[in-house]
Amino acid sequence: MKPRKIPQRKCIVCQHTLTKKEMVRVVRTPEGAVEVDVTGKKNGRGAYLCGKMEGFLQAKKTKAFDRALKVSMTPEDYERLEQDFNAIQARYATINCGRNTAHES
Ligand SMILES: [Zn+2]
């Protein structure tokens, strides 16, 4: 029995590969705004990360979004994203992004 192929994405923070469903998509819209994409269907360049606030904070600290989305984000952009992220992170409570990464690679 072959498992069905499920689309997977790599977390820009911890580099773990998870299914799209387990990850939060952040998208740079054609207008140049960066936002959390809850539907996963918005147009634009996307980056994925585990749905953990810890992971988000690490991305903020290391400017992982700037690199992944090839954009220069202002502190206000991060502030807004953080609020959006905070609102949805409860859905992803089982994932431990930002943890257990130091001794795994
Ligand atoms: Zn992660």
Residue 105, pLDDT score: 42
- 103 confidence band (pLDDT: 50, 70, 90): very low
Q: Rounded to whole angstroms, how far apart are CA atoms 93 and 85?
A: 12
First to last CA, the chain: 31
Ligand 1 geometric centre to CA of 31 (Å): 27
Residue 101, pLDDT score: 46
Check pLDDT > 70 for residue 59: yes
Q: Rounded to whole angstroms, how far apart are CA atoms 64 and 3?
A: 32
Determine the structural domain holding residue 41 and report its residue range. Answer: 9-94
- 95 confidence band (pLDDT: 50, 70, 90): low
Q: CATH number of the domain at 39, please.
A: 3.30.1230.10
79 beta partners: none
pTM: 0.81
How many structural domains is the chain composed of? Answer: 1
Q: Please indicate, yes or no, if residue 1 is contained in any of the structural domains.
A: no
For ligand 1, a single-atom ion, the residues with CB < 5 A are 11, 13-14, 50, 55, 97
Q: Please indicate, yes or no, if residue 2 is contained in any of the structural domains.
A: no
Residue 70, pLDDT score: 94
- 89 confidence band (pLDDT: 50, 70, 90): confident
Ligand 1 geometric centre to CA of 44 (Å): 21
Q: Please indicate, yes or no, if residue 99 is contained in any of the structural domains.
A: no
Q: Please indicate, yes or no, if residue 105 is contained in any of the structural domains.
A: no
